[in-house]
Amino acid sequence: MTTHVVVEADGGSRGNPGPAGYGAAVLDPATGAVLAERNDGIGVETNNVAEYRGLIAGLDAARELGATHVAVRMDSKLVVEQMSGRWQVKHPAMKPLQRQAAELARTFDAVDYTWIPRAENAHADRLANEAMDRAAGIERPSRAASAAPPASGSWTPPTGPATRVLLVRHGATVHSAERRFSGRNDLPLNDVGTAQAVALATRDFGDVDVVLASPLRRARQTAEAIAAPRGLDVQVVDDLVELDFGTFEGLSMAEARAADPDGLAAWLGSPDVAPPGGESFAALARRVRRARDTIVAERAGQTVLLVSHVTPIKTLVRLAVDAPPSAMMRIHLDTASVSRIDYVGVHSVSLRLFNDTSHL
């Protein structure tokens, strides 16, 4: 594992503000090998917002790789000076981004920041421009395959025993039928959900080595129904819990929009923004990755049945196919559905089944 890494990050917009995007690359400082790449469009934003988003993405990728020391290289004098503590953060839009980046930085043993000319930041600049083009609806020709080592998250041929992960969304509750935000509440399964759990219990999953579940009651009830006839116990994994929807908990989309239209729009507009009093999609993705990495490391060659919620499961699927955070809004997942992802490590990944309800 590489503990010392270089993060090169950039961001920009077509118009300032305009269609914006960021790019970040994590590099091996000794060889220059690309260890990870991140880029995404972020809607209509300013250059400075996009540059901070690039830094955050780069630090997040470095943390996923297990780095302890990070050398950040950016051509944004503003971000470098503010993160180094030499310049104050005055703009209201910058303050939460600077705090988020600082919180991420504190998870490492050391992070230092260096300004570099734009010409020396070409890798991150290219990634950011690709993201800006996508945000602006501009088609770009696909990049030719490179001889460089594959980036983290890219597909590589399997070289060891696979971990077969069966992703089961819990059965229905009263919130499911009413399409309400259902996060950290502890609602039980309703009659429909109980019948769905029975159907899941009789489904042929093949040999299952372990059953894991979110700590919430609806997930545990579903998991216990599946585990009992197989003579297995349910192991609770806290990182598989549903998103915390904060003040939107229990509301329908229409009710949330009426109660706090600005808060709802801000949350749905950025994976880094949490609903008021809740948890952001980016924060959930970090803990879901942590759970995934532990499962894959400890369960090579095994079949793991995991009962969780719509947002953690959709996040695992999004990560498996290397889709941007915006893809979350385009994925539908039914209650009591079954999906499957096979992992050989966390970089050789194959989505084998999605949202199957043939047992119902």
Active site residues: 170, 242
Tokens of 272: 């880094």
Q: Which H or E element spans position 10? A: strand 4-13
How far is CA 177 from each of CA 70, 200, 220, 230, 256, rounded to the nearest angstrom?
A: 47, 19, 19, 30, 17
| Sheet strand arrangement including 303-308 | 234-236, 210-213, 303-308, 163-169, 338-344, 348-356
**From residue 80, how far is each of 76, 88, 93, 323 by CA, in Å?**
6, 11, 17, 29
**Tokens found for residue 251:** 């509301």
| Nearest CA-CA partner of 130 in 206, 40, 205 | 40
10 Å CB burial of residue 183 (0-12, 13-18, 19+) is: buried
